[in-house]
Each structure stands twice: as structure tokens, then as C-alpha cells.
Amino acid sequence: MNEGVSIEEINQLPKIDLHCHLDGSLTRSMITELLGREVALSELQVADDNKNLAEYLEKFDLPLQCLQTRESLFRAAKDFMLSLVQDNIIYVEVRFAPLLSVRNGMSSYQVFEAVLEGMKEGSKLTGIEFGIIVCAMRHHSVEDSLRMAKDLRDFLHCGLCAFDIAGNEAAYPMSEFAGLFSGIRRMGYPFTAHAGECGNARNIVDSIELGARRIGHGIAASHNHDVISLCKSKHIGIEMCPTSNLQTKAVLSMDDYPIREFIDAGLMVTVNTDNRTVSGTNMSKEMKLLVDKCGISIDELVQIKNVAGTNFCDIFAQTNNEILFVTSAIDNLIKGASGAAIENANLMFGLNEDEALPKVAYAP
């Protein structure tokens, strides 16, 4: 393995986090401020003997209490961005479920607007670029989720970059959400989906068939040639979250972690945190874990080809298919990318020869 690579070396690497939940990543200090009382770490962070995903999700009850007013949503989002500086993050796609914050009469529009303003303020202070992914929750009705998506449609490409479905995958398989994602596609949302976290590879297949461009976790694809081949042929991004996957028992040990299998199979893999506070992690810890336990090299961690093709915010196309927007963080990364990286980006967004991002030769 690569135990010789220090955490200090990894800390210095610029990083991108594409699978990170806002509620699961609120800092302890911010939760203490918003609740007006001292909060023990054990109230926020999952225990070592956590049994499964359902038990893991219980840790979200307390942070969600902090996300029920415009002011608290703004402050939490801003503080989240500030917390990323020490992890050397240059771009983050943060996700949250607006419908979990409408308890006090706010609309999903007002909820999203407050988070967006907090993220913008944090971005100004840190220089970190961001996109926001809105989550439908599996236990909510399809009708409510579609109504939320319609209400937030004006924010798409204006801070809102994609749609997701999250929650208890074992209790609510993807087959129940064909109607939801049919509507989401009609509204023009790109989307990812939490799938394959609970051992069911069929959820991965169903997500891709419904139009998902990325898969959250995707562990159940391991040792499944057909599913891996499908992900590869469709250029599906796999959002891997090692610490979280261990805690939810998606894998029993790092010996079973399939990132090497996925990389060797040519899948578009990214490394992410999932829930920084609930899992007690950050990007540096995730990368160090993979270096030490999975034999992943530093060079593999900093490869751009997968990142450039799987983020949702790097390319927004107008109706005439001209490139409208490239975030500065991703643009800076692409300046050092190979032709293969640009090709992956074009494939990921389904751009044909006339629409494709040009393979520009950038000066060093």
C-alpha cells in the first residue's frame, strides 16, 4: 500500500466534493449556536457500531431542527462554505432536501433561496465555487416532489445544478419513482440518484434507465459485470463515499471496498465525503483512507478525467447548444486536462460533434 503518503501532502491537494449533504455536514459550532445549547459530538456523529443506513439516518434529526428558518438556513449554508477552506476544497456540489425545511410555513422556493444566498456569501468569502443539488426524499410523495421541482425550476443553472433522490433505499426502491423522474426529465433537470448503497444492484440499473447521469454510492455494482458494463457504456459517474459506506455497512471492511475494481474497469469514479459531520470526515481523510487501504495512488486521486466528466456545473448549454457557462474552478482544472478529459466531459453531457467542448490547447 501507500502508507508513506502523509496526510499533510494530501491536505495540500486542491479538492472537489460532488456528494456532500448540507444537513449531515453542519459544523458542531453552528449547531450549538442555532440550538442555543452545547451539543455533544455523540449527538451528531454516528457510532462505530452503527448497524445500517436506517440507523445512520437517525443522526440527521438534530441538524434538521437547525434548518427551519430563513436566517438559520442562510447561516448554515454560509458556515458550511467557510468550513471547506481547511480541506482545500475548490469546488463543491452540496445537496439538501428543501421539503424537510418547510415545517414553519416557508415554501420550498423560500428555503432554496435562503440556502443559495448563504452559499453565495460563503463563496465570496472563500473563493470556493459551488452548485446545489436538490433532493427528493424517498418517503415523500411523488406529487410533492414534483411540485417542489416545478417551484424551483427558475433556479436551474442559477445555483441549482441537478436533482437527486435520497433516503431509505432498502424501503423505497427506484422502481417506485419512474413517474417522478419522467417529470424531472421533462423539466430539464439533470439528475443523480442514491442507488446501490443497500446491496440492490437493480436500483442502479433502474436509475440509469430512468436517465440518471450519476449514481450515489453504487457499491452494489461490485462483481456485477452487466451493471459495470452498463455504467461504463453510459459514462455514468460513480460518487463513492468510503467512510460513510463503511458506517452504513454497504461494505464490511475496506478490504471489500470496490474502488480499485471500478477504476480498473474504466468507470468514472469520484471520491466524496457524503456527510462531513455525521461521518466525522473530510476529503483529506477520505483520500488518505483510499491511499492507505486500497492502494490508490496520489496520481490516481488527482486525475481530472473523471471529475471533468461528472460534475453537473461545468457545462450549461443554451437552447442553441452554445456553451453558456463554465465555472471558474472547473475551468481552471480543465486547463491542465488532457484531451481525454475533454472527451469525457462531452460524452457525459451528451454533446454531439457540433456542440462539443473544444479540445483547446491551454498554455501552461
C-alpha separations of 77 from 81, 101, 115, 119, 235 in Å: 6, 13, 6, 5, 31
pLDDT bin (cut points 50, 70, 90) of residue 243 is very high
Sign of the torsion angle spanned by Cα atoms 58, 63, 65, 70 = negative
**Integer Cα distance of 316 and 157 in angstroms:** 7
Q: What is the pLDDT of residue 299?
A: 82
pTM for the structure as a whole: 0.86
Q: What pairs with residue 271 in β-bridges? A: 240
pLDDT bin (cut points 50, 70, 90) of residue 69 is very high
Stretch among 17-21, 96-100, 171-175, 295-299 having the lowest mean pLDDT: 295-299
Selected catalytic residue, list 93, 129, 197, 239 = 197
Q: Which DSSP letter does residue 99 get?
A: G
Contact 119, 78 (CB under 8 A): yes
Burial class (CB in 10 A: 0-12, 13-18, 19+), 315: buried
Q: Of 325 and 8, which is predicted with more confidence?
A: 8
> Residue 93 catalytic?
no
Does the pLDDT at position 363 exceed 90?
A: no
Contact 82, 120 (CB under 8 A): no
Q: Tell me the average pLDDT across 3-9.
A: 81
The string of DSSP letters for 235-280 reads T-EEEE-HHHHHHTTSSSSGGG-THHHHHHTT-EEEE--B-TTTTT
Task: Report the share of the chain in percent with pLDDT over 70.
Answer: 83
Q: Of 104 and 363, which is predicted with more confidence?
A: 104
Q: What is the pLDDT of residue 148?
A: 98
**Integer Cα distance of 64 and 67 in angstroms:** 5
CA nearest 107: which of 63, 144, 140? 144
Stretch among 20-34, 250-264, 319-333 having the lowest mean pLDDT: 319-333
Stretch among 66-70, 80-84, 219-223, 324-328 having the lowest mean pLDDT: 324-328
State how far Cα 130 lies from the chain centre.
Answer: 11
Domains of the chain in sequence order: 7-311 (3.20.20.140)
C-alpha separations of 56 from 52, 111, 256, 292, 301 in Å: 6, 25, 20, 25, 27
Q: Of 361 and 67, which is predicted with more confidence?
A: 67
Q: Tell me the average pLDDT across 206-222.
A: 97
Q: Which residues contact 192 (CB under 8 A, 6 or more apart)?
A: 19, 133, 162, 163, 164, 212, 213, 214, 215, 216, 237, 239, 312
C-alpha separations of 280 from 28, 44, 267, 321 in Å: 11, 9, 27, 42
**Integer Cα distance of 341 and 307 in angstroms:** 8
Torsion angle of the four alpha carbons 270, 273, 279, 282, in this order, in degrees rounded to the nearest 10: 120
Q: What is the pLDDT of residue 1?
A: 53
Q: What is the pLDDT of residue 3?
A: 59
**Integer Cα distance of 346 and 1 in angstroms:** 34
Q: Which DSSP letter does residue 14 get?
A: -
Contact 165, 180 (CB under 8 A): yes
- Segment 290-342, tens digit of pLDDT: 999 999 988 888 774 345 457 786 433 333 232 222 233 344 443 433 333 33
CA nearest 22: which of 35, 31, 9? 31
- Segment 116-143, tens digit of pLDDT: 999 999 999 999 999 999 999 999 999 9
Q: What is the pLDDT of residue 309?
A: 57
Q: What is the pLDDT of residue 201?
A: 97
Query: Helix crossing, 70-83 with 108-126: angle to 10°?
Result: 30
